[in-house]
Amino acid sequence: MKLNFAKRMSSIKASEIREILKVTEQEDVISFAGGLPAPELFPIEEINEVNQIVLKEAGTKALQYTTTEGYAPLREWIAKRMNERLGTLLDKDNILITHGSQQGLDLSGKVFLDEGDVVLCESPTYLAAISAFKSYGCNFIEIPTDEHGMDMNILEDVLSHTGNIKLIYVIPTFQNPTGKTWNLERRRKLAELSAQYNVPVIEDNPYGELRFEGETLPSVKSFDAVGNILCTGSFSKIFCPGFRIGWIAGDKDIIRKYVLVKQGTDLQCNTIAQMVIAEYLKRYDIDKHIGKIVEVYRKRRDVAVKCIECYFPEGIKFTHPEGGLFTWIELPEGISARDILEKCLEKKIAFVPGGSFYPNENKENTFRINYSNMPEEKIKKGLQIIGEVIQEYIHEIK
């Protein structure tokens, strides 16, 4: 018998990345596809040690239900870290621990979006944020970006002419998929516009700690004069993603609403995972650990950028990220990255075509390269092959 699924299921498609990742599970594939951190940098021994300490010292508390808001010492650490690095003024009651920052996005949809509401986002933007918000029946308006971030004139124009705008979703630091970082003026301006038009902002920041060069910039949240801005963060890229521990920070009244919807979703995050992270932060120097990650990724970024310059044909644009995990390639108009991917997969090289990072239009001449998850030799080999495939493709269609 045919079942009647919820209307939202018709808008939910299999993620292209998840499908490509199935191919990349084969050992001999060189994958630029996922956003995976380098597993050799996970602090396994330290986690093992801290895990035992937590079980010994906290005992059954570590295995018991806990509050929805999350483990208080961890929330305190997060508030302090954000205040020191991002210029915010938060305390633990501004923080809700979430199942990765991804849950912060889904709960934002639950808290703010009704069917037919409008979400404004960068064009292109993070694929799984599109899926999370789409399941609440919203429509997207994409706002163009340049190398300094979202175009604030267009944003203001859209804000002043469009009804039903319920959220602005942005990734101002080392954006996924483009690797771009917004400058200070755009951050300040976004906070001003959010206040002026009374539209909340979700500032998604899972990569901000991974800066290879230049100064750390204050968050959009630090310019929040009225309490409209929510900021997500995550331990996925600075510790390990398998714990699925992230957070959302915001005005206390708004965070209380998130707590209510989280109760209906999963009651709370994993107790022992939160305690292990808090204990790790107490016993180890996370900055030293992040320093190691940054050093490895910086070298991989350098190799990736050099290879793109060297092996890709002229006329191809790409971003030069100052941090994070990705660079973004723009092929000449009329060339489909999906066609290039097909040929690359035959040669056991994978990446994600850019089309699915646009919620409305399909710009098919773009693709994303992740450089964090592979040794330098493989990055070189893989990008050389992609470069050759593009050369051949351009030659064939001429």
Interface contacts to ligand PMP, rule CB under 6 A: 35, 100-102, 126, 171, 176, 204, 206, 234, 236, 241, 246
Residue 241 or 382: which CB sits closer to ligand PMP?
A: 241
In our burial notation (b when 16+ CB lie closer than 10 A, e otherwise), range 68-79 reads bbbbbbbbbbbb
Q: How far apart are CA 282 and CA 240, in angstroms?
A: 17
Give the shortest CB-204-to-ligand PMP separation in angstroms.
5
Helix (H) and strand (E) counts for the chain?
Answer: 12, 14
Residue 186 or 237: which CB sits closer to ligand PMP?
A: 237
Sign of CA dihedral 204, 125, 227, 265: negative
Give the shortest CB-379-to-ligand PMP separation in angstroms.
19
Residue 50 or 238: which CB sits closer to ligand PMP?
A: 238
Residue 176 or 222: which CB sits closer to ligand PMP?
A: 176
Residue 307 or 352: which CB sits closer to ligand PMP?
A: 352
Give the shortest CB-2-to-ligand PMP separation in angstroms.
34
- For residues 230, 197, 177, 396, the Cα torsion angle rounded to the nearest 10 degrees is 170
**β-strand 95-99 against 30-31: which pairing, if any?**
unpaired
Residue nearest ligand PMP (C-beta atom): 100
Q: How far apart are CA 197 and CA 13, in angstroms?
A: 33
Strand ranges for 160-205 from DSSP E = 165-170, 201-204
In the numeric block, the tokens 């998604």 are attached to 204
Give the shortest CB-7-to-ligand PMP separation in angstroms.
26
Sign of CA dihedral 150, 151, 152, 154: negative
Residue 175 or 380: which CB sits closer to ligand PMP?
A: 175
Give the shortest CB-232-to-ligand PMP separation in angstroms.
7
Give the shortest CB-206-to-ligand PMP separation in angstroms.
5
Give the shortest CB-265-to-ligand PMP separation in angstroms.
14
Give the shortest CB-144-to-ligand PMP separation in angstroms.
18
**From the CA atom positions of the chain, what is the Rg in Å?**
21
Closest listed residue to residue 232, CA positions, set 247, 250, 244 = 247
Residue 122 or 279: which CB sits closer to ligand PMP?
A: 122
Q: How far apart are CA 95 and CA 85, in angstroms?
A: 16
Give the shortest CB-329-to-ligand PMP separation in angstroms.
17
The total of other beta-carbon atoms located within 10 Å of residue 224's CB is 24
Reported as type and span, the H/E element at residue 277 is helix 271-283
Task: Please name the residue ranges forming H helices in 59-137.
Answer: 72-86, 100-112, 127-134
Q: Which two tokens stand for residue 178?
A: 């483009």
